[in-house]
Amino acid sequence: MHRRGVGAGAIAKKKLAEAKYKERGTVLAEDQLAQMSKQLDMFKTNLEEFASKHKQEIRKNPEFRVQFQDMCATIGVDPLASGKGFWSEMLGVGDFYYELGVQIIEVCLALKHRNGGLITLEELHQQVLKGRGKFAQDVSQDDLIRAIKKLKALGTGFGIIPVGGTYLIQSVPAELNMDHTVVLQLAEKNGYVTVSEIQASLKWETERARQVLEHLLKEGLAWLDLQAPGEAHYWLPALFTDLYSQEITAEEAREALP
Amino acid sequence: MGMYRIKFDAGTLLLSTHRLIWRDQKNHECCMAIPLSQIVFIEEQAAGIGKRRLFVEQSSTKISFSFQAFEDLSKLMIKAKEMVELSRSIANKIKEKQGDVTEDEERGGIMSLTEVYCLVNRARGMELLSPEDLVNACKMLEALKLPLRLRVFDSGVMVIELQSHKEEEMVASALETVSEKGSLTSEEFAKLVGMSVLLAKERLLLAEKMGHLCRDDSVEGLRFYPNLFMTQS
């Protein structure tokens, strides 16, 4: 019986067909490549236009920066991962944040002896703006948070702790667990906290409250006031900025770096 | 000494912090690695459609790789060339700063990565390094046989230290200092020796880890004493 598709002739035919498909495949690939090339060129031009239009805005406008960052987050891009990165170079957005990082480090170092390495975002913001001077670009709290998130990569203890409606910025590698954080949040209202307050609000036992407060004292984040009326007050210098009438200048901040 | 030319085709290229690795696409057992510190020259060359070609000069050998990965190449090129340059420039900057030793500012051969970040970026003025860029460049220091290295303490604190700096030896002198004073906190030690509190603490912690010091942890702070169990046994 003679079956179709089998035999030397059929095999040869098949090979010819395959060869023709392969050739066609190569032709298609070249076409695609040409098309892609053209698209890439257009893309590049559009991107350059975008960059020149918005480069200024990125530097001057904090609102715009937030929107730009949100857009990047949506598409899964971190424009600040590297100074050599595409976005960083095209838009100059990297330099803005990395320089801010340096200024944040300097402020935190200058004030560490006072607050043990814990500072409110507000105070940090004020001090950074002071250091930048009157003619520098405006910097928002959102900018500071983003810069600080990047500084974590340097391994020396930068942390962001939510308290009340704002944040505490930690700049030394002190270990702060959930218990410590919760007590810090409690202290935010008055700038200090007492054992009874902790017991009343958090329903903790005395021992647990004591341990947390001792740890904060040890790390230099809290000061003990035994002369307060009633019981001992544990003050958090980070939260009590009214105490400080002293201002640090940009020069002092730079000198604080050993 | 002659020049050897070798061609490797149809593979995949990988870049690690220390090496450039080529692996045969078909036979995964077949691969070769070049330490980055030995790369003298690197360049992209023309190749066919769907392929890329990289030319690498290593000491006495010229090697040519062809591979398929489109997107990897630009990153590779940037990484390999620029990382090498970057690491070298960082090493130079640190050396310069080490060179300006004033009376009260003796660094003692060690700097925290935060200090290096500020130092390098202040010097650059523009085209600053991101923290990640800095960490990655510092990871290559040792591999590039530069006289500095990145060190990570147990606490997670990262420092750059001179290759010649032996922290374990500094521990011996730290023990002497603490013994002289009876006991010291990190702050007191830092002030005496002229270091940052951060690094002073790490040195005392290391001394404790090595058994030379023991701690007294109280509300008044963390205080270190010579470990008499060791010395008086």
Pairs of CB atoms within 8 A across A/B:
98
B72 pLDDT higher than 70: no
| Residue of B90, B124, B130 to mutate for A, most A C-beta atoms under 10 A | B130
| Residue of B114, B122, B216 to mutate for A, most A C-beta atoms under 10 A | B114
Domain limits of chain A? Answer: 13-80, 97-256
pLDDT tens digit sequence for B77-90: 555 666 677 778 88
The whole-angstrom distance between A105's CA and the closest CA on chain B is 8
pLDDT on residue A245: 40
Q: Is domain A97-256 classified as CATH 3.30.365.10?
A: no
Token pair 């990395």 is at which residue?
A98
Query: pLDDT: is A154 or B44 the higher one?
Result: A154
Nearest chain B residue to A174 by CA: give it: B155
A28 pLDDT higher than 80: no
| Chain A residue numbers touching B118 (CB-CB < 8 A) | 102, 105-106, 257
The whole-angstrom distance between A13's CA and the closest CA on chain B is 28
pLDDT on residue A148: 96
pLDDT on residue B74: 46
| Chain A residue numbers touching B121 (CB-CB < 8 A) | 98-99, 101-102
pLDDT on residue B111: 85
The whole-angstrom distance between A172's CA and the closest CA on chain B is 8
| Chain A residue numbers touching B218 (CB-CB < 8 A) | 218
Domains B86-161 and B167-231 share a fold: yes
Distance of alpha carbon A185 from alpha carbon A202, whole angstroms: 11
Closest CB to A214: pick one of B82, B132, B219. Answer: B219
CATH of B167-231, one of 2.40.50.100, 1.20.1440.230, 3.40.50.10490, 1.10.10.10: 1.10.10.10
Lowest mean pLDDT: which of A57-66, A124-133, A246-255? A246-255
| Residue of A80, A154, A223, A225 to mutate for B, most B C-beta atoms under 10 A | A154
Give how far the C-alpha of residue A6 lies from the chain's centroid of Cα atoms, to the nearest Å. Answer: 67
Domain limits of chain B? Answer: 4-79, 86-161, 167-231
Closest CB to B158: pick one of A85, A101, A154. Answer: A154
Distance of alpha carbon A54 from alpha carbon A48, whole angstroms: 10
Nearest chain A residue to B154 by CA: give it: A155
pLDDT tens digit sequence for B23-67: 776 776 677 788 888 888 888 887 777 677 888 888 778 887 776
pLDDT on residue B57: 84
| Chain A residue numbers touching B129 (CB-CB < 8 A) | 83, 98
pLDDT tens digit sequence for A177-205: 889 999 999 998 888 999 999 999 999 99
DSSP for chain A, please give it.
---TT-SHHHHHHHHHHHHHHHHHHHHHHHHHHHHHHHHHHHHHHHHHHHHHHHHHHHHH-HHHHHHHHHHHHHHT--TTS-TTSHHHHHH-HHHHHHHHHHHHHHHHHHHHHHHTTEEEHHHHHHHHHHHH-TTSPP--HHHHHHHHHHHGGG-S--EEEEETTEEEEE-S-----HHHHHHHHHHTTTSEE-HHHHHHHH---HHHHHHHHHHHHHTTS-EEETTSSSS-EEE-GGG-GGG------HHHHHHT--
pLDDT tens digit sequence for B157-202: 999 888 877 877 888 989 999 999 999 999 899 989 888 888 899 9
Distance of alpha carbon B139 from alpha carbon B128, whole angstroms: 18
Classify domain B86-161 by CATH architecture.
Orthogonal Bundle (1.10)
A130 pLDDT higher than 70: yes
Distance of alpha carbon A103 from alpha carbon B170, whole angstroms: 31
CATH of B4-79, one of 3.30.2320, 3.30.70, 3.30.420, 2.30.29: 2.30.29
